[in-house]
Amino acid sequence: MNRGLRLASVLAILLAAALAVPQGVNVPSIQLGVGQAQGQNEVSASLQILALLTVLSLAPALLILTTAFTRIVIVLSLVRSALGTQSIPPNQVIVGLSLFLTFFVMGPTFEQVNETALQPYMRKENPITFDEAVKRGQVPIRDFMLKNTYESDLRLFTDIRKERPRSREEVAFGSLVPAFVISELKTAFVVGFFIFVPFVMIDLIVASVLMGMGMMMMPPTVVSLPVKLLVFVLANGWHVLVQAILAGYSP
């Protein structure tokens, strides 16, 4: 729990860092009129709040599209569908577990961003520039996305934009993000297929047994649901599932 809270705090600090104004850039200062501010302290609090709301509105998209959240939440949702429990676990539990698993998977990446970009930018003595912090902060995130992106998906977007990167590290960030997202979707659906197969077999077996017993009016789901739950619990399904998800992101 402490690790998850600490990683969540790092993510919040990363979002707050986007509000920092680059040094040496003249920004508006609201007093009796609008003029050129002499430093960061003269920026209006109302403008800072507006900038904060803007960044927070983009935070969900950044969290979903550049981390492991997409794959994890889809796999957990497919497990719920395969079990046949339409609203159990609830959406809040699925999303909450996906968030904490995302923080667990992205922990080393967030720590690298914090150590190499955020802390040098936030220090009082000899801080690095905002542009330098952005460049340093992109490196761990790019490395994570490149490790989990299929070559074919990456080539799709580079060919459309007619880019000719000499290596994967030179791929533009705008091409890397959509390639990473569709790769995560593809992987999640592959995992979902293997999850569905045993539960579909249970449904077929139960339906065949009921038909052989002449119980035509008995809905197969009434019998197959407790059977699937029993098999899932006996197989320690949540443990195996989370272990498989985390193993897919191992370095």
| Location of structure tokens 């969540």 | 8
pLDDT band at 50 (very low <50, low <70, confident <90, very high): low
Count CB atoms within 10 A of the CB of residue 188.
21
pLDDT band at 51 (very low <50, low <70, confident <90, very high): low
pLDDT tens digit sequence for 96-155 = 888 888 888 888 888 888 888 877 777 777 677 777 777 787 788 888 888 888 888 888
- Which 8-state DSSP code applies to residue 168? G
Q: How many CA atoms lie within 13 A of 74 on its CB side?
A: 19
Q: For the range 190-195, what are the long-range contacts, defined as Cβ-Cβ under 8 Å and sequence gap of 24 or more?
A: 191/71, 191/75, 191/78, 191/244, 191/245, 191/248, 192/74, 192/75, 192/78, 192/82, 195/75, 195/78, 195/79, 195/82, 195/241
How far is the C-alpha of 138 from the C-alpha of 133, rounded, in Å?
9
pLDDT tens digit sequence for 70-93 = 899 999 988 888 888 877 888 898
How far is the C-alpha of 130 from the C-alpha of 109, rounded, in Å?
19
Q: CB of 156 within 8 A of CB of 179?
A: yes
